[in-house]
Structure 1
Amino acid sequence: MKKVLLVAAENDALINTKVGGMGDVIRDLPTALATCQVSADVAMPEYGFLKDYYNAEKVADVLVPYGNNNESVTIYKMLRPATKQQVKPSSTANDDSQWVYLFAHSLFNQADGSIYTQGSADQPFADDANKFALFCLAVAQALVEGKLGRYEVMHLHDWHTAMLAMLRHCLADFSALKQLKCVFTIHNLAIQGIRPYSGMESSFCHWFSQWFSAEFVYHHNRLPHGIMDPRYPNCVNPMRMGIVMSDTVHVVSPTYATEILRASDPAKGFFGGEGLEHDLQEKADKQQLVGIINGCNYPVEPVVDAKTASAVSDRLALLNDAQEALIKWQGNKASVNATDFVASQRVLQQLFKCGQLTKKDKPGLLVTSVGRLTAQKVMLFLQPLANGKTALASILTLMKQHQPDGLLIIAGSGDEQLSLQIKKIVTQYDNCIFLNGYDEEVADKIYQLGDLFLMPSSFEPCGISQMLAMKQGQPCLVHGVGGLKDTVLHQQNGWVFVGDDALQQAENFVEQFSKCLNDYGTKSWSAIKKAAAEARFDWESVAVQYNHLLY
């Protein structure tokens, strides 16, 4: 059986260690790979709470030179649980068991238990880069010392683990790692972890001072190819290290694999290589760039309609769960958040309206959108149209005109300025609830009960939300980019819009939404809904491609 070590910052197989789609991948991939005779373990930071929750067993300590000190990192191991809450004793392990290795150090821990830190505008990624530089060193040392078992492939995920490829490629101390094939997966090319080469604590020369210094560049004229950022000459780029110094680069959809070979052009609403298109083209020319769509888990039978016998009861349950989530979120806040207050009032209004219906009635159209509040995900919502109104305001106006009882629920957390912009719009419309946070139970009900899912991402490497909605029989209206283009087929299992620039994209988004409103409830809508529920992007098929093309 082939042995692979997945190295990642997130893992949704464990509690509180998912932020984005990477967490889903690391959760689901080991089980899928096992069907292809590939045994996959995971190495990740312990984050200060995982070893105690899962009663993880101490394996070893590794000592690594980091900054001006030798830092000791403790390694724990635990059996991969079948559910997040399950604690499996190591004594139950067998030859087929899959392990999670937890790397513990105080630098990896946040007081609030979060995985990433926000950083500041003038020092982006500073704290996270410190953390993941040490993590990469510790994993490299553990592999060289044989403290994690023997592997044929190390599979790195996003910039957080990319410096491991650099250590393997550039330093004699870690040259033994060249015996392993190195695969690097890009989940989000826009976030690259760029930091200064030298001159401060959160810098390349500080992390790896035993091997690199400011004088190194002066005496050797330049660093090994792939370390420095191509746009900012005094900065290093971990994402670039992963691309240039790995054996194979994998991106999470075939369409995205072609998009990233072109330079980004934000003025025209196109997001491609983000400054690394030349490196990616070199990989493509060497047949070392592979696009494979992420997978999704499915029930045995398609869910054509996830609703129960009483649509009113379903809607009430969703609204009550939303209200509970809003209350729960206040526990970590000094005062009631204005956005949450508005959302709570809208929920109460909708609860009152639903309370007037009988169990045999049908609530109005439910339009949904779930995702992190980043420019990538929401800028087309906020794009002003030729009439001066934003796309979001135009959508809410159209709903009011054509579906007076309709409701839009937007759920997600992230950029504070973006959330304020959304709040400013939705306070003017009583047919929208903006849940500025994430609650798993609420999200699950949104996927199950929604009638139309909106995903107007400016770019989308893969996307998981559209798959989760489609799985529940909720068709999607998406921007035809990246993984969205590969999963949603226009007027077959959903609807797709495109455009030559951000304005045209937003205009076409609103126009297609208007057409969807006109089609709602028709036979063609039912056919598209059924096709969405029957679409399959299963992990077992994806794992076959991983084994054949990556490992």
Structure 2
Amino acid sequence: MKVIYIASEGAPFAASGGLGDVIGALPRAVAESGKGEVQTEVILPLYGSMKEEYRKRLTKEADIRFSYGWRQTGASVFSLTEGGVLYHFIENHYYFNRQKLYGEPDDGERFAFFSMAAIEFMLATGDIPDVLHANDWQTAMAVIYLKTEYAHIEALRRIRTVFTIHNIEYQGKFDPYILGDIFALDAKYYHIVEYGGCINLMKGALTVSDYISTVSPNYACELRHDFFAFGLADIIARVSDKMCGVINGIDYSVFSPERGGGIYTPYGRDDLDAGKRANKAALQRELGLAEEPDTPLVVMITRLTAGKGVELVLRILDELLGEKVQFAILGTGEAMYETAFSAVASRHANMRALIRFDRDLSKKMYAAADIFLMPSKSEPCGLAQMIACSYGTVPLVRAVGGLFDSIKPYGSDGANGFTFNNFNAHELLFTLKWALELYRDKSVWEPLRLAAKDSDFSWDKSAKKYISLYQNITNW
């Protein structure tokens, strides 16, 4: 069985968040779990920002020409193999020779072109999969094109489609007047993508896909409610019989204190306490915090947006910092939150606000911290809480989405962290103070920290679930 994943990003070639990490890991995990019976490939745009170390390994596969609406256009396709997976890259300088992945005024056109070019590449080379697995609105048109404009082509009819919702908040909404000119979709198919008086690409993919997955079981349940579905709850209700949730995993070859990988001092389960202390002292020195080994260090590594629950933290931060605790936050986002955290940090010697994107520093913070804070309003899956566990850092999360699926609260079976239920600042503060109190009881804290470190968030279990899903829809 052959599965081709199509996505707008994939690590290590182009990644801006969780989607990139998933596409960088899931295809390899599926191939490994399939033990030779499942072949996986990935199709990505060839962005101008691709690092030279990867670009010099590219081999040209094909030049393709095709009609895209009223335009005669084309692309070149290059490939390389990484981690046993064949990656194809669609090159078109007009659309993708840019440094940014997203946020361009023609994003709709760019990714619709990419989706059509991927299908044309399959036709031109005969590289036809059993399953095409699309991800988020940027590749929704690949599924829609297969079921509409390309439905008459015999070679493509046997392809089964899976569409994964990584974050339903971003749906790909556009003016209906550009249906033909920009999306090259005949007006007779408008009903597929129409929703609320506009083009909604995610709605279209949800409607025509053979199967739908989300990135955690709890998120799949939450999407039936308006609060989480961002207007698509009724569509989710219609397609719920062909939808499931499969939680993401993390790549332990990247996030592993045993391997080092940029942290101050490598460590493992057997020297967890000594390793954490060494990394904590080094981070305290780097950040200019008091070097106090027994003062709990709480960290956040996040986008500074409302959805990440940062307003809850801001409401209780001054009171929290009155405790014997240190707090550091790393991230960028909305200007009002960047300013607010910087202002609080200026008032407290035991806080640092690091308003920047810094992958290297983030690993050091995961390794050094005692508690990792993640009070999200909505969190489809979340990877940061899993990464924190891999470094033996105890997560404190709001029990929502994938955070509910991955973190079990202290006092329950399989406990590996702390949770709170309501989006309430003082419920967060109460849970934090409880965690700080238990931190000082080593008979409680050390087993909890070990439980976090022993949590298994490898891709193997998720890969097996996806293989089963692929087999079911293809009758393989």
Question: Is this a same-fold pair by TM over 0.5?
Answer: yes
> 1:162 is matched with which residue?
140
Deviation at 1:423, TM superposition (A): 2.8
Shift of 1:534: 1.1
Give, in angstroms, the shift of residue 296 of structure 1. 2.1
1:495 CA drift (Å): 0.7
In the TM superposition, what are the counterparts of 1:135-534 in structure 2 within 5 Å? 135-146=114-125, 149-172=127-150, 175-176=153-154, 177-198=156-177, 203-209=178-184, 211-212=185-186, 216=187, 223-229=189-195, 231=196, 233=197, 235-264=198-227, 272-284=228-240, 287-298=241-252, 303=269, 306=272, 308=274, 311=277, 314-317=280-283, 320=286, 347=287, 349-350=288-289, 353-354=290-291, 362=293, 364-377=295-308, 380-383=309-312, 391-401=313-323, 403=324, 406-491=325-410, 492-499=415-422, 502=423, 505-522=424-441, 523-534=443-454
Paired AA for residue 165 in structure 1: V
Residue in structure 2 matched with residue 23 of structure 1 by the alignment: 20
TM-score (norm 1): 0.76
CA offsets 1:124-153 (integer angstroms, 9 cap, x no match): xx3221210110110121122335x23111
Match of 1:90 in 2: none
Q: Deviations over 1:228-255 (max 9, x none)?
A: 12x3x0x211111221111000001111
Counterpart residue identity of residue 447, structure 2: A
Instruction: Identify if the C-alpha distance between structure 1 residues 369 and 310 changes in structure 2 by more than 3 Å, giving closer, same or farther.
Output: closer
1:40–1:428 distance in 2 versus 1, CA, 3 Å: same
8 Å Cα contact 2:60-2:77 kept in structure 1: yes
Mark the CA change 1:30 to 1:310 in structure 2 (over 3 Å): closer, same or farther: closer
Q: How far apart, in 1, do the equivalents of 2:7 and 2:419 lie?
A: 32
Q: Per the alignment, do residues 196 and 424 of structure 1 end up closer, same or farther by CA in structure 2, a change over 3 Å counting?
A: farther
Distance 1:395 1:418 in 2: 13
> In structure 1, what is the equivalent of residue 262 of structure 2?
none
Please give the secondary structure, in 1, of the residue aligned with 2:230: coil
Q: Within 2, Cα distance between the matches of 1:29 and 1:246?
A: 20
2:93 is equivalent to residue 106 of structure 1 = yes
Q: Is the 1:170–1:224 contact (alpha carbons within 8 Å) kept by the matching residues of 2?
A: no
8 Å CA contact 1:167–1:174 kept in 2: the answer is no
Alpha-carbon deviation of 1:490? 1.0
Q: Which amino acid aligns with 1:65?
A: S
Change (3 A) 1:422 1:67: farther
Asked if structure 2 preserves the Cα contact closer than 8 Å seen for 1:41 and 1:98, the reply is yes
**Aligned residue among 72, 75, 85 for 2:74:** 72
Give the whole-Å Cα distance in 2 for the aligned partners of 1:538 and 1:205. 43
Letter in 1 for 2:224: L
Structure 2 length-normalised TM: 0.87
Structure 1, residues 416-453: CA drift from partner, whole Å, max 9, x if none?
Answer: 34323333433333322122222221111111111000
What's the secondary structure of 2:129's corresponding residue?
coil
Change (3 A) 1:309 1:73: closer
SS of residue matched to 2:2: strand
- Give the residue type in structure 2 aligned to 1:116: Y
Once superposed, what is the RMSD of the aligned Cα atoms?
2.4
Match of 2:102 in 1: 116
Instruction: Report how far residue 521 of structure 1 moved.
Output: 2.4
Q: Which residue of 1 aligns with 2:111?
A: 132
Q: Separation in 1 of the partners of 2:354 and 2:56?
A: 31
Rounded to whole Å, the distance in 1 between the matches of 2:421 and 2:8 is 33
CA distance change for structure 1 residues 417 and 399 in 2, over 3 Å: closer, same or farther?
A: closer
**How far apart, in 2, do the equivalents of 1:310 and 1:525 lie?**
13
Question: 1:156 Cα deviation (Å)?
Answer: 0.4
Distance 1:115 1:208 in 2: 19
Structure 2: where are the runs of 5+ without partners? 259-266, 472-476
Q: Please list the CA deviations of residues 446-477 of structure 1 after superposition, one character each: whole Å capped at 9, or x if unmatched.
A: 11111000001101111000000011111111
Q: Distance in 1 between matches of 2:273 and 2:140?
A: 43
Distance 1:440 1:306 in 2: 22
Q: Which residue of 2 aligns with 1:341?
A: none
Counterpart in 1 of 2:264?
none
- Structure 2 CA distance for aligned equivalents of residues 307 and 116 of structure 1: 41
Q: Is the 8 A contact 2:327 2:351 kept in 1?
A: yes
How many percent of aligned residue pairs carry the same amino acid? 27
1:257–1:454 CA distance, 2 compared to 1 (3 A): same
How much does 1:208 deviate?
3.4
